[in-house]
Chain A
Amino acid sequence: MMLEVSDCSVQIQQQKILSNISFSTVADENLSIIGPSGAGKTTLLRCIAGLQKYSGSIIIDSKAINELPIHERNFGFVDQQLNLFPHLTIYENIAYPLRVRKMPKGEIKQRVSHIMERFNILQYKKKLPQELSGGEQQRVAFARTLVYKPRLLLLDEPFGSLDTMLRYELASWLREILQKNNTLTLFVTHDIKEAKFFSKRSMVLHEGKKIGHGTWPALETYNNSTIQRMLKEPF
C-alpha cells in the first residue's frame, strides 16, 4: 500500500495555504507531518480526504483519486474533535460506516462487537458519546474508523485534547493496533515526542511549504535552522 502526493497546492482568497507539496509514504512507516500552527498540516490531510479543494494529484496504489467522491475513497479520518454523532449510541456510531456500506446485519453485529471488545468499550454500547470520558470517546472514534478497515488512516492531532498520561497510553495502544493491521497512516501533530514515538519518518511543513522529509536521524542532520529549532523547541 503506497500513497503518493504530487504538487498539492491550496489557495484561498489569494492566500497560498499549501505550495506544491509532494511526498510518498508506505504502510509500515506511519509518516508524521509536523510543523507549527498555520503550517498547513490539517489542510493537507483534508485535501487527501477530499474535504478541501486543491490542485495537484493524489495517487494511492498507482490510482489517481482526485475525482473520486469522498464517500468512495474508503479513508479514515480522526481529528481532535472526534466528531462522534451525538444523537447515536456508541454501538450505532461504530456500526454507522458498515450500515452505509449496506453490510448484512449479522456481519455488522459481529464486527462491531468484536472491535468494541478489542477496544474495551463493549460496556458502553448503549450510551451516548457525551456520557463518556475524553479517553473513552477517543477509543470509540478509533473503533468507528478502524471497523471498516480503511485503506488510509488520516490522524489530525487525535490525542490533542487529552492529558499527557492518557495521550501516551492511547498512542502506544494505537501504534500496536496499526502495526498489527499494517494500515497506511498519516499522522499530524505539533508534539515532537509524540511524532517520534508514533512514526519512523516525518515531513516538516512551515508556512504551507515542505521544508524537510526523512527519518528522524536524517532530519536532525538537516542544515535548516527552522527544522533544527522545531526539533529542539516545542511549537
Chain B
Amino acid sequence: MESNIQHSISKLNKIAGWHTFAILLIGGGIVFTIFLPLGYLVNSAFTESSEFIISSVAWSRIWFSLWQSSATVVLSLLIGGGLAIAEHTYKEKFSRWFLLIMTLPIFLPGVIVAVGFIAIWGNAGYVNETLQSFGWQPIKFLYSPAAIIAGHCFYNIPLAYIAIRLRLLSVHHNLEDSAQVLGANWWKIFTTIILPRLRSTIIGIGIIIFLYSFMSFALPLVLGGIEYQTLEVYIYNLASQQFNYSTAALLAIIQLISLGVITLLSLRYINDVQEKFIKHQKSNNFASNTTIFLFVRVVLSILIIAPLLATVFKGFNGNSIVTLAESSFISAWIRTFIISAVTISIATMAGLYIAISVPKKHQPKILLILAISPVTLSLAWRLLYGQSLFFMVTAYITLLLPLATYVVHNSWQARPVHFNETLSILGANKFQQLKSKARLLFPAIAQIIALGFAFVFGDIAVSGILTPYQHPTVMSLSYDLMGSYRFNIAATSMSLILGSILILVFLTFFISSRYDARSF
C-alpha cells in the first residue's frame, strides 16, 4: 500500500517536473523571442529617435494602408461572401473542385502572385502585348492602388467565400424554410435569419482580411512601386535601405499597438463563431446545379489560376533554366528546405504541447502574436540580436507557432468524447495512447506542415531583414533577380518555387490522407 502511494507520488513529481520544464521553456522562449525584442524596439523608438514627430510621408503611408485594407475588406466580402450567400440561398450544390481552387491562394506566396500579375499586366505582359499587336494603347494597371487591392482580393475573396460558405453549410436550411412558412419573404429571411447567423463570421473574417491586407508585405512591395507604399513596406524600406532604425521602430510600435487591438477584437469573434449555434449544426445537401453559378465559379477559377500559369509560361525557357542551374539556386533551395523542416518540426511540437496541455481559455491568447507583423518582428530581432540564420529560423518558428497552436487546438477540441479515457479503458499503454493521439491529429499536423512550407518558401520579409547576405533563401535569391531586371529568370525561379510548394503541399496531404484517423 505504502509503496503504491510512494510510486504515485514519484510519478506525480515526474509529471510536475516535466510540466515545469516545458512551461519554463515556452515562457523563456516567449520572453526571448517576443518581449525582449519588442522592449528593445520600444527603447529604440523613444530614446534614439530625434525626429519624434512622424513625417507627412509616414502619415500618407498609414492613410494609404488603412484605406486599401478597408477597400479590400469591402470588395472581398461583397464578392466572396456574396457568392457564398447566393449559392446558399439558391440551394446550389457545394462544389469540391471549386473549393480546392479557392483554397489554392492560401499556399501561394505573395511574390509569386505579384510576378504573375506582372506577367499578365506588365508592359511586356500578355494583355498589353496582345493590345499592342492590335495597335491599341497598353493598360497601365501595375504600380497603382488598384493593383495592390486586386492582389489582396486575389487572396481574400477566396478566404471570404470559404469562411462564409462553410459556415452556411453547417447551418441547416430548415430555419429559412421555417421562416418562409411563417410568412417571411426573401428579403426578410435574408435580413432576419441569414445575416444575424452570419454576423460573427462576417465580422471575424472582415477583421482577418483587414489585418492581412494591412500587414501584407510582398504584394504591395512588388505591385505598388515607389509611389504606393503601405506602412509595412515603408517600415521595411526605412530599416533595410535608409537604415533609419529609430523611425522604423516608432512606426512599427504604432502599427503593433493598433493591430494588437484589432486582433483582440477578432479573437472575440473567432470564439463566438466556434461556440454559438453549435447545437444546430447539420450539413446541408442541396442538389441544384445552375449555369449562372457554374459560370461565376469558372470565371473566379480562371482569375486565380491565370497569374500562376502566366508566371510559369513567362519563366520556362531553356536559357533561364541553365542560368539558374549555374547560379546558387540549388544550394539556396536545399537551405530553404532545411530551414522549413526545422521550423515546422519545432513549431508543430510546441503547438501540440500548448494545444493539448494549456487550458482552453488561455489558448486564443497565443493568436495575439499574429498582430506582430513579420517586418516588425524581424526589425526588432535585427536591432537586438543582429542578422543570422539561427535568428531567422527562430523568427519563422515564432510566426508559425500561433497558427500551429490554433490548428491543433481546433482538431483536438473536435476529438471524440472521453477519447483519453476510452484509450486507457481499452488497455492502450502510454506509447499506444500517444500514437492514437498523433493519428487523430495527423490532418492538423499535415495542415501545419503544408502551411509551414508555403510560409518559409514564400517569405521575403523575414529573410530580407534577418538573412545574412551569403546565405539567402531561395525566395530572397529570386526576388534579387527581379531587382536586377532579369524578369524571365526571376519568373523561372518563381515557377520552380511554386512547383516546390505545390508538390510539398500535395505530398503532405497525400501522406496525411493515408494515415489519418479515419483509417484506424
Contacts and interface: CB of A to CB of B under 8 A. Distances in A.
Contacts of B140: none
Contacts of A77: 178, 181
Classify the secondary structure of B's interface with A. Answer: helix
A70 B185 CA distance: 9
B242 interface: no
A75 interface: yes
Contact of B188 (A70, A86, A87, A100): A100
B29 interface: no
B182 A144 contact: yes
A86 B280 contact: yes
B201 to A, nearest CB: 13
A168 interface: no
B179 A96 contact: yes
Interface in A56-92: 69-77, 81, 83, 85-87
B91 to A, nearest CB: 11
Interface string A81-123: 1010111000000001100110000000000000000000000
Nearest to B188: A100
Nearest to B181: A77
Interface string B162-180: 0000000000101101111
B277 A74 contact: no
Contacts of B192: 96, 100
B183 A130 contact: no
B184 A83 contact: no
A100 B197 contact: no
A85 B175 contact: yes
A33 interface: no
A148 B183 contact: yes
Contact of B180 (A71, A87, A101): A71
A76 B177 CA distance: 11
Contact of A71 (B172, B183, B196, B280): B183
Contacts of A83: 174-175, 177-178
Nearest to A148: B183
Contacts of A75: 181
Given A81-B174, A83-B174, A100 B279 contact: no
B15 interface: no
A177 interface: no
B402 to A, nearest CB: 30
Given A83-B174, A86-B279, A100 B193 contact: no
Contacts of B180: 50-51, 70-71
Contact of B183 (A13, A87, A101): A101
A70 B177 CA distance: 9
A130 B196 CA distance: 16
A49 interface: yes
A49 B181 contact: yes
B182 A97 contact: yes
A70 B277 contact: no
Contacts of A71: 180-185
Interface string A19-58: 0000000000000000000000000000001110000000
Given A51-B177, A71-B185, 17 more contacts: A13-B287, A50-B180, A51-B181, A71-B180, A72-B183, A73-B181, A75-B181, A81-B174, A83-B178, A85-B179, A85-B193, A86-B277, A86-B279, A87-B277, A97-B184, A100-B184, A100-B192
Interface of B: 172, 174-175, 177-185, 188, 192-193, 196-197, 276-277, 279-280, 287
